[in-house]
């Protein structure tokens, strides 16, 4: 059984299709999913998708793309939602200096507020990082010295230096369909040596569909294809890959309970 550690199911791209999406996921042996909040204004919609399903959880946060919408966000704004039984993580947050949809100042403020919320709540942090390796390494190193916290670098596509720094700091990593892409050699190389007990898998659906579905809408039923490629990279069986990545998910997101 597989866990998809990062899905985006509450948007328009899945409207009216969720029963079929869940049916296909179950048929593909996807046992659980984490629905990610990318803007705090959408937290209710993020949680609503999860209601009535023992195998689906949510996060609360604001993506760096949307930091401009929440330039004055505080830890208290995030903590207002963390008592909900479905909310098991804080994020997606972080830094994106590739698209720069938000200026650096609100991105940095947003990220810091999320870190403060993680320290206060004890929930783990879900990080997006793109073209910000130096800044991300500096912030994680500085903040971990103040007091360690759980951090996950999701959909890892950054460089080796950040990966080694984050691994030394105890961070977790999640691999997406990108590891199946033809030219993703560096990402596969990094996936080959990351700590084996700190790797998860994800689809980041509806984005980043793995080969042979690249370019189509992605969905949780495709996460076994990510697992198959990770198994090939690591020299694991598919059963070992499912077990290791599932265990990593429940150890990291320890508020989530394994479905019976």
State both tokens at 59. 């996060």
Q: How far apart are the first and last CA of the chain?
A: 12
How many folded domains does the chain comprise? 1
3-class DSSP state of 57: strand
Please give the residue range of the domain that contains residue 110. Answer: 2-252
How many secondary structure helices (H) and strands (E) does the chain include? 9, 8
Beta partners for residue 35, in sequence order: 7, 58
At 163, give phi and psi (nearest 5°).
-60, -45
Cα dihedral sign, 95-99-102-103: positive
Alpha-carbon separation of residue 94 from 20, 63, 201 (angstroms): 32, 7, 19
In degrees to the nearest 10, what's the CA dihedral of 235, 155, 40, 117? 70
Question: How confident is the prediction along the chain (260 residues), in pLDDT tens digits per residue?
Answer: 999 999 999 989 999 999 999 999 999 999 999 999 999 999 999 999 999 999 999 999 999 999 999 999 999 999 999 999 999 999 999 999 999 999 999 999 999 999 999 999 999 999 999 999 999 999 999 999 999 999 999 999 999 999 999 999 999 999 999 999 999 999 999 999 999 999 999 999 999 999 999 999 999 999 999 999 999 999 999 999 999 999 999 999 999 998 77
Q: Is residue 35 situated within a structural domain?
A: yes
User: What CATH number is given to the structural domain containing 195?
Assistant: 3.20.20.140
Residue in the structure block whose two tokens are 């971990």 = 144
Question: Are the beta carbons of 39 and 32 closer than 8 angstroms?
Answer: no
Residue in the structure block whose two tokens are 């230096």 = 161
Question: Are the beta carbons of 155 and 204 closer than 8 angstroms?
Answer: yes
Question: Are the beta carbons of 29 and 2 closer than 8 angstroms?
Answer: yes
Q: Is residue 257 situated within a structural domain?
A: no
Q: How many of the other CB atoms lie within 10 Å of CB of 259?
A: 11
Q: Is residue 260 situated within a structural domain?
A: no
Look up the pTM and report it: 0.97
The predicted pLDDT at position 259 comes to: 75
The predicted pLDDT at position 105 comes to: 97
Cα–Cα distance for residue pair 31/98, rounded to 1 Å:
34
Sequence-distant (6+) residues with CB within 8 A of 64 are: 93, 94, 95, 96, 101, 102, 107, 110, 111, 128
3-class DSSP state of 163: helix
Q: Is residue 206 situated within a structural domain?
A: yes
Q: Is residue 138 situated within a structural domain?
A: yes
The predicted pLDDT at position 218 comes to: 98
DSSP 217: P
Cα–Cα distance for residue pair 128/106, rounded to 1 Å:
15
3-class DSSP state of 38: coil
Cα–Cα distance for residue pair 204/7, rounded to 1 Å:
5
Q: Is residue 6 situated within a structural domain?
A: yes
Half-sphere exposure of 240 (CA within 13 A, CB side): 11
Q: Is residue 258 situated within a structural domain?
A: no
The predicted pLDDT at position 11 comes to: 86
Q: Is residue 136 situated within a structural domain?
A: yes
């Amino acid at each position: 059984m597989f866990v998809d550690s990062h899905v985006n199911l509450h948007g328009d791209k899945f409207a009216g299709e969720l029963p079929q999406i869940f049916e296909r996921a179950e048929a593909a042996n996807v046992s659980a999913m984490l629905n990610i909040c990318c803007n705090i204004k959408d937290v209710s919609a993020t949680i609503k998708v999860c209601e009535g399903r023992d195998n689906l959880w949510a996060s609360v946060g604001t993506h760096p793309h949307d930091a401009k919408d929440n330039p004055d966000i505080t830890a208290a704004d995030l903590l207002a939602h963390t008592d909900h039984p479905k909310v098991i993580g804080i994020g997606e947050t972080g830094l994106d200096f590739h698209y720069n949809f938000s200026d650096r100042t609100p991105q940095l403020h947003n990220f810091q507020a999320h870190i403060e919320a993680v320290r206060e709540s004890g929930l783990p942090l879900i990080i997006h990082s793109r073209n910000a390796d130096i800044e991300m390494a500096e912030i994680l190193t500085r903040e971990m010295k103040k007091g360690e916290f759980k951090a996950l670098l999701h959909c890892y596509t950054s460089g080796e230096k950040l990966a080694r720094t984050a691994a030394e700091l105890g961070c977790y990593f999640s691999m997406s369909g990108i590891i199946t892409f033809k030219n993703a050699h560096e990402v596969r190389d990094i996936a080959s040596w990351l700590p084996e007990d700190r790797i998860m898998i994800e689809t980041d659906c509806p984005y980043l569909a793995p080969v042979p579905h690249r370019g189509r809408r992605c969905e949780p039923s495709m996460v076994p294809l990510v697992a198959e490629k990770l198994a090939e990279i690591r020299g694991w069986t598919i059963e070992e890959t499912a077990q290791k990545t599932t265990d990593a998910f429940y150890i990291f997101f320890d508020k989530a309970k394994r479905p019976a």
